Amino acid sequence: MQKNPELNWLKQMQLAHPLMIAGPCSAETEAQVLAIAHQLKDSDATIMRAGIWKPRTRPGSFEGVGKIGLPWLQRARAETGLKLAVEVANKSHVEEALKADIDVLWIGARSTVSPFIVQEIADALAGTDKIVLIKNPVNPDLSLWMGAVERLQKADIKNLGAIHRGFSTYLKTKYRNNPEWQLAIDFQNHFHGLPLILDPSHMGGRRELIFDLSQTGMDLNYDGLMIETHTDPDRAWSDAQQQITPQRFFEIISELQVRSPEGENQDFKLKINKLRKQIDAIDSQILSNLGNRMKIADEIGRLKNSNNVAILQKERWNEVLERMKAAGLTQNLSEDFITELFKAIHQESIEHQQNINKTTR
């Protein structure tokens, strides 16, 4: 997919690519903000993030220092030259942030889930030339994420971008928020040219996962990273486990391999086109096999229906899933992938058999 340069403020503003945003989950004290800013000023970070209003799940948790933190950030910018980014969750936050001339405002995952909140923020920001970033909603709902962007576009906010921070799931995974990379890819395909930034801190929830997630972001041609950094992460007032020191931030950035969007080497192009044709042929065969499988599922559905047998056979389903997970391991396919794949196939089979029951009533 080609980026539309007219929509990409990274190029227009001559900001670094990939863009690096770093800073604490929360601004705690003026000394803390300044210490982090000075440690980041000679790094690849262009923007310093710090939450001053913190939407928390339960009351009683640290909800940020509020607007008293804005002068701390202003001083940090004056002393280091770093641009500033804060989260806004309502009209008053926007007004205070604009009054303080904050460079970048982001809308958090808990706000993106509510069209009312997004509309209030969009109205308060109407016509601004500030950079406004929209995090994906907590739940894996692509329409909510897209709708939030569209509301801001209608408010004539031109310097828009998105932040992919992962999605909540009831399944147990190693991530705090499951990546669901395909949702982000679908989002990009809808908004050509809209910069997409990865937030590996909230996605992973643990500092040891940040590098691998960041590298995946670079492998998928993301436009930047937002990484939470703190001078003393273990004593952070919020989200301690997912923050890293500025020194570790430097190490991660130096170790990352930034990929070229497209290869220019002619030999590379010939080889990759040949391999892609092989992939296309296999994909066609997969679809053909799935179609044949559903034809058999239809026959099973008719047999069940004529014998008044329930569609769902739990023992059979569990047997198939366990067998496929074991077989998947022999093909170097992860258990999570096999589980999700065969759940989708099983759901399609159930729907086929339900349709058969409906047509024979």
**Of 196, 222, 255, which residue is a domain's last?**
255
- 114: three-class secondary structure by DSSP: coil
**Rounded distance between C-alpha atoms, residue 69 and residue 62, angstroms:** 14
In a domain, 261, yes or no: no
Between 360 and 187, name the one with better pLDDT: 187
Do 246 and 335 have their domain in common? no
**Of 255, 281, 304, which residue is a domain's last?**
255
Burial of residue 38, with CB atoms counted within 10 A of its CB: 0-12 exposed, 13-18 middle, 19 or more buried: middle
Do 212 and 301 have their domain in common? no
Q: Which amino acid is at 173?
A: T
Angstrom CA distances, 271 to 67, 70, 258, 263, 265, stand at: 56, 53, 21, 11, 10
**Rounded distance between C-alpha atoms, residue 321 and residue 343, angstroms:** 8
Confidence of residue 355 (pLDDT cuts 50, 70, 90): very high
In a domain, 176, yes or no: yes
State residue 48's pLDDT score. 97
Asked if residue 88 lies in contact with residue 105, where contact means CB atoms within 8 angstroms, the answer is yes
Do 232 and 155 have their domain in common? yes
Do 111 and 211 have their domain in common? yes
Do 94 and 230 have their domain in common? yes
In a domain, 260, yes or no: no
Do 89 and 209 have their domain in common? yes
Q: What is the pLDDT of residues 26-58, one digit of tens each?
A: 999 999 999 999 999 989 999 999 999 988 777
In a domain, 120, yes or no: yes
Q: What's the total number of domains in the chain?
A: 2
Residue 26: which domain range? Answer: 5-255
Is residue 313 predicted with pLDDT exceeding 70? yes
Q: What is the pLDDT of residues 60-117, one digit of tens each?
A: 788 899 999 999 999 999 999 999 999 999 999 999 999 999 999 999 999 999 999 9
Lowest mean pLDDT among 239-243, 264-268, 293-297, 331-335: 264-268
**Rounded distance between C-alpha atoms, residue 161 and residue 13, angstroms:** 13
State residue 5's pLDDT score. 40
